[in-house]
Structure 1
Amino acid sequence: MSAPAFTTRAVVKDRPQPGVRVAEVTLRPRATDVVVRPLAIGICGSDVSTYRWGTDRANRMRVSLPVVMGHEIVGEVVEIGPAARTRPGVSGLAVGARIIAEPIVACGRCRTCVDGRTNLCYERRVLGLDVDGGMADLAVLPASSVLPLPVALPPTEATLLEPLATAVQAMAKVGPVAGVSCAVVGPGPLGLLLTQALVTAGATTTVLGTERSRERLRLASTLGAAETVVADAEWTRANGDRFEVVFDVGGPTALLQAVQLVRRGGRVVYASGSDVPVPIAFNSMLKHRGIDLLTSTGHQLDAWMEAFALAASGGVRLAPLIDAVVSLERVADGFAAASARSVLKCVVVP
């Protein structure tokens, strides 16, 4: 038997135009769902793209309107559906337990899910995009999206564990990095988390940004980067063929830069999220230089476990990345600031 429907305040995207709004929505939990009280929800780059709608990649993303926004969710259990109690990750939970959300809602049946690669599910859906997310006073999450939170962190900081798991998943593409020269293109939240994880793993890490990201580059230095650079076209030409591994977390134009900077026989990991076409001459820029172009999306369970361990050990610091916290009432201000890049990371606290 399912829990009764209820009404709650939520941040909703319900029109194919820029903006979001706070509205009363009715949620209908199923027997396989968990009702959660969100304590903090991060505003991610994909949230900003949905907020902008007409720019970036929003018009190419699979967004089902109307939808409750938010996938970087930390909360506490309010109610567990009867069919959810036996699901992995939920069976040991009690009302009041702290949880973090796995944004990818996987089918659990396709061959990649059976292999444990739920991030590559053939029928994948994503919280806050085509399934209601958690930017609300109360949220309904599929049991498969509920993970116990084993790390004692303030909820605002814990929201960054999800992008940290994304960074760890990207690192897994290249294996051990101790002593390896790595570059991270894009000093946003994901790039700064990736930088710290690389440094902790022993990589010599350079972080590259643009003129407008000087403050973020300064933060990267305090977080352990060996070098930070405003990498314009001239610098990129002068430093071509330099790094063993280059991670692109900065968008489509950064991919071309990453390919230029990686040395012969090196590896480029594309972990950004845009469908904007990139002009790359595959023969001369990749094949003839022996470059491996790898991609990474989402995270698997072992990446979550490593993210928890990094945060618990202090190998990755989360608090320095958060420079804005807003209530549901002020969420439009938070989205506007994130869209304008006047903040690094904004977290919503209902």
Structure 2
Amino acid sequence: MAKKMRGVVLHADWDPKPEFKLGPKDIEGRQTYLGSKVWRNPRVVIEERDVPKPGPGEVLIEVKACGICGSDVHMAQPDDDGYIWYPGLTGFPSILGHEFSGVVVEAGPGAKNKATNKPFKGGEAVCAEEMLWCGSCQPCADGWPNHCERLDEIGFNVDGAFAKYIVVPDRVVWPLDPLKDVYSGEELFLAGSLVEPTSVAYNAVVERGGGIRPGDNVVICGGGPVGIAACAIMKRMGAARVILSEPEPTRAELGKKMGADYVINPLTEDFVQRVMDITDGYGAALYLEATGLPTVVYPQIEQCVWEGRALNAKIVVVARADAKMPVTAEVLQVRRAQIIGAQGHSGHGTFPRVIQAMATGMNMLPMITKQITLDEVPENLVMLRTDRKECKITVRLDKE
């Protein structure tokens, strides 16, 4: 008889909106790239599942820690009509959770450890990418696995890590050996679980946004985990002023601890005027939209670009939202500005670079503000819909 484990599973009803059309990568009744157009009445339950077995090139990992992501919250959150908030790739039922670290238990034939280029022996501390790219489609061949044409995503359309065990392909597994110089015991796995969300921020501001020159100004809109991680990355890159826009006091204080030089409360302060004051009228070289409220936030960013003296500003949009941004082309044209989309984290060595940065002084552990058990996941998913005091809530599977 197969061994059993418990997992946090999201169920929902396939009930497409009238305007939805099945796309070439959608699967009727099972999977879509337009989640908020299709899935209705989400329900989170803890169920028993079989412990998975690794096949050729796959690795079985015992999960030690897994963070709750905003996408987990939005997949489980219904709007007024019952449709999920999350707009992207989704396939239910699936075990949630994708920001994880753990220990290799068993490796299938041919599965190799990147640190040694030899087969896994078991016992290795690892983390893994959330995006399961195929490696053979055109985007993958061109070096853009984030946009794989046969993409699967851990915890979105395939079973994730809010469970004791998970199987993943070896190509997305990254050893945590460099972190052992800084962290040990449970801290190693807590830090390892932060590699994925930090890599999302890295991909947004470095790979997609192109980074900055030391001495440039940066504005981060949104003090969630990705925004906070971006503060740390941008300060490490040499930003003169990292400005965080965040109304929640606890997240604002955390932002300062992680690299923000200034914090703006957009609910009580004039965002545009404050940015102009802080930067002596220049504005910023890079703006990050990490709030998921583009109809509110983008016009303010655009006004900063228009009023600021700095040309060539880059506006990177990383938060996922169904809403359309109200863009004024004249501002982009006159100010030589760009809007850049950022998705995910895979490719171009994002994971190993984040691990090395964390191993050499970029401490991301303060982002974890609460630790919970597997049984507490459903209630915390509901709490995070409205309560923004916590930054990163992490599930401790090693306590199960």
Alpha carbons of structure 1 residues 115 and 138: separation in structure 2 relative to 1, 3 Å? same
1:275 aligns with: 322
1:204 aligned to which of 226, 229, 240: 240
1:50 aligns with: 75
After superposition, give the CA deviation of every residue in 1:163-209 in whole Å (9 maximum; x if it has no partner): 11122222223234311011111111111111011111110233333
1:320 aligns with: 366
2:18 aligns with: none
1:214 aligns with: 249
Which residues of structure 1 form unaligned runs of 5+?
A: none
**3-state DSSP class of the match of 2:244?**
strand
Q: Give 1:1-350 correspondences, 5 Å limit.
A: 6-16=3-13, 17-29=41-53, 30-54=55-79, 58=85, 60-85=87-112, 91-150=118-177, 151-152=179-180, 153=183, 154=187, 155-172=189-206, 173-211=209-247, 213-232=248-267, 235-238=270-273, 239=275, 242-251=283-292, 252=294, 253-262=296-305, 263=308, 264-281=311-328, 283-299=329-345, 300-314=347-361, 316-340=362-386, 341-350=388-397
Which residues of structure 2 form unaligned runs of 5+?
A: 14-40, 277-281
- The CA distance in 1 between the partners of 2:385 and 2:150, in whole Å, is 29
Q: CA deviation at 1:21?
A: 1.6
* Higher mean C-alpha deviation, range 234-243 or range 165-174: 234-243
Alpha carbons of structure 1 residues 183 and 59: separation in structure 2 relative to 1, 3 Å? closer
Contact 1:338 1:346 in 2 (8 A): no
Alpha carbons of structure 1 residues 298 and 88: separation in structure 2 relative to 1, 3 Å? farther
Contact 1:57 1:275 in 2 (8 A): no
Aligned alpha-carbon RMSD (Å): 2.5
Alpha carbons of structure 1 residues 149 and 86: separation in structure 2 relative to 1, 3 Å? closer
Amino acid across the alignment from 2:156: L
- The CA distance in 2 between the partners of 1:231 and 1:309, in whole Å, is 34
Contact 2:72 2:96 in 1 (8 A): yes
Q: CA deviation at 1:298?
A: 1.6
- The CA distance in 2 between the partners of 1:218 and 1:347, in whole Å, is 19
- The CA distance in 2 between the partners of 1:19 and 1:89, in whole Å, is 42
Amino acid across the alignment from 1:159: S
- The CA distance in 1 between the partners of 2:218 and 2:284, in whole Å, is 6
Q: CA deviation at 1:50?
A: 1.1
Alpha carbons of structure 1 residues 232 and 204: separation in structure 2 relative to 1, 3 Å? farther
Contact 2:87 2:320 in 1 (8 A): no
**3-state DSSP class of the match of 1:207?**
strand
What TM-score, normalized to structure 1?
0.89
**3-state DSSP class of the match of 1:339?**
coil
- The CA distance in 1 between the partners of 2:202 and 2:52, in whole Å, is 34
Q: CA deviation at 1:133?
A: 0.9
Contact 2:219 2:286 in 1 (8 A): yes
Alpha carbons of structure 1 residues 156 and 234: separation in structure 2 relative to 1, 3 Å? closer
After superposition, give the CA deviation of every residue in 1:221-245 in whole Å (9 maximum; x if it has no partner): 2223221111249613434662221
Amino acid across the alignment from 2:226: L
Contact 1:207 1:220 in 2 (8 A): no
- The CA distance in 1 between the partners of 2:106 and 2:376, in whole Å, is 28
Contact 2:242 2:259 in 1 (8 A): no
